[in-house]
Amino acid sequence: MFLKINPGQILDNLRIHFNDDQMWGVNLILALIMFGVALGITVDDFKRLFQNPKIFMTGILAQFVLFPFLAYLLVNVLNPYPSIA
């Protein structure tokens, strides 16, 4: 005998609640991670960006056009539960 469980139902019932102190901590950790990533950026990185803007434009195109379009296609083809989509 198999139990029929809707996989989306498990995620639909999952709730994560943060109070104000916990949200402050989450925001602080996120800020530290972003600062750590920014420490790795050098002036040479920006020089390369301006010398070869095709790389930058390819990234922008992928981020704002290609990836949303692929996500739209996947959602329409796979038709997942709303909580999973």
Is the pLDDT score of 8 beyond 70?
no
Q: Check: CB of residue 82 under 8 Å from CB of residue 8.
A: yes
Is the pLDDT score of 12 beyond 80?
no
Span 27-57, pLDDT tens digits: 999 999 999 999 999 999 999 989 999 989 9
pLDDT band at 83 (very low <50, low <70, confident <90, very high): confident
- Alpha carbons 51 and 48: distance in angstroms, whole number: 5
Q: Residues of the chain with pLDDT > 70: what percent?
A: 88
pLDDT top residue among 37 and 85? 37
For the chain, give the mean pLDDT. Answer: 88
- Alpha carbons 5 and 24: distance in angstroms, whole number: 36
- The residues spanned by each domain of the chain are 14-78
